[in-house]
Amino acid sequence: MTQDVKPTRSNLFEIEDRIELSKRGHGLLEMKRDGLILEFQKILDKAKGARSQLTEEYVDAQRKLNVARAVEGDIELKSTAYAAQKRPRFFMKMKNVMGLRVPEMEAEDVSKPLMERGYGVMGTSSKIDEAVTAYENLMNSIIEAAEINAAVNRLLEEIEKTKRRVNALEYNVIPELEGARDYIDFRLEEMERETIFRIKRAKE
């Protein structure tokens, strides 16, 4: 509040209400920030596990593919792949995590029973079946890892945004309001002293 504006009790009450509201909002945002950080730590642990599993399953799938290639040959592998009757389908929807909407991925026809894969089971070796199963598992792990990674990124964004709002209230908004309140309080006391002084002069 500038010094050329005459402060009033109404101004003081209004600013005190705004200070109280700002402090209440600050407390709620701190609680939200702490909750988001806890949730982030949980999901981060899941992300590390998913990444480790993804690496292991990728190595396993590559190894089984190489074995199948050695047993059946590239031509047989390609014809088996082309014979697949159903292609995987992927869907994206949203789920709620700590009040945030984060992506959730769903897939159909990734893991299929042996008899529904589309290629002739009797005419191929079990090494192809093992390679197909390994890659189905790998695909499921990729979907899970992608979903977790999206949740991690979304939580990080919200944590940073909430931190900025907490800091703005703590270091800018509330101190400025308290400074304005103290100035108004000081000016009102000064005006009261001046009024009392004028009354005394008038009586004299």
Domain boundaries defined on the chain: 9-198
In DSSP terms, which residues pair with 93 in a beta bridge?
A: 104
Q: Which CATH class is domain 9-198?
A: mainly alpha
For residues 131 and 74, what is the distance between their CA atoms, to the nearest angstrom?
13
Average pLDDT over residues 85-97: 77
pLDDT-based confidence at 118, cuts 50/70/90? low
Report yes or no: 49 and 185 within 8 Å, Cβ to Cβ: no
Of all helices (H) and strands (E), which one includes residue 124? Answer: none
In the chain, the N- to C-terminal Cα span, in Å, equals: 35
Single pTM value for the model: 0.74
Interval 13-51: pLDDT, tens: 999 999 999 999 999 999 999 999 999 998 888 899 999
DSSP string, 145-199: HHHHHHHHHHHHHHHHHHHHHHHHIIIIIHHHHHHHHHHHHHHHHHHHHHHHHHH
